[in-house]
Amino acid sequence: MTVEQAIITAIQYESRVHKAYADQVSWISDPAGRRIFQTLADEEQSHLDYLHHKLEQLKQTGNVPADTLPTAIPAPKQIEAAGKKMQQHVASADPTNDLQMLSNALELELKTSAFYEDMVRLLPAEGQKLFKRFVEIEQGHVAIVQAEIDSLTQNGYWFDCFEADLDGV
């Protein structure tokens, strides 16, 4: 795959993820969940803008320097620390619906993350630099969606770590 093909494919991934968040914001019953989905939708839009800019830059100059790609989402470790403080807060009016949307979002984020990891592994150095930051950002997206799922389900796990024995054993 060429760098240009990778950027075009990345745009397709980001478009799907952005659409999922943007379409579902109003359907999330919990206000905190809506804010998270809106933040993620905005973040995905910034990724789309960045990728379109990089594609145009590649077409005009023949190269794509990896510019800074900011994120509104903290690193996974910061999400985990903050999440432990708010783990008790679950006010969802429709947890089944919210859980389904979060599960769908997690699946999209995992597929997108896997794509970016492949690009870092397979592309020439210039392409690797471009997509390396996306890997870091997508890991944050996966972490925040997983944290929301863990919080909503209260299954005794937090960030895939066993936190509590719900049976008292």
| Crossing angle between the packed helical segments 95-122 and 125-153, to the nearest 10 degrees | 160
Domain 3-162 has CATH 2.40.50.100: no
pLDDT of the residue at 68: 73
User: Residue 22: pLDDT above 50?
Assistant: yes
pLDDT of the residue at 76: 54
Is the CB of residue 33 less than 8 Å from the CB of residue 24? no
Read off the pLDDT band of 8 (50, 70, 90).
Answer: very high
pLDDT of the residue at 3: 94
Q: Return the H-helix or E-strand segment holding 41.
A: helix 31-61
More confident residue, 131 or 149: 131
Q: What is the pLDDT of residues 62-115, one digit of tens each?
A: 988 877 776 766 555 544 544 444 444 444 445 677 788 889 999 999 999 999
Read off the pLDDT band of 33 (50, 70, 90).
Answer: confident
Domain ranges of the chain: 3-162
| DSSP-derived 3-state class of residue 161 | strand
Burial class of residue 137 in the structure, from the number of CB atoms within 10 Å of its CB (0-12 exposed, 13-18 middle, 19+ buried): buried
pLDDT of the residue at 70: 67
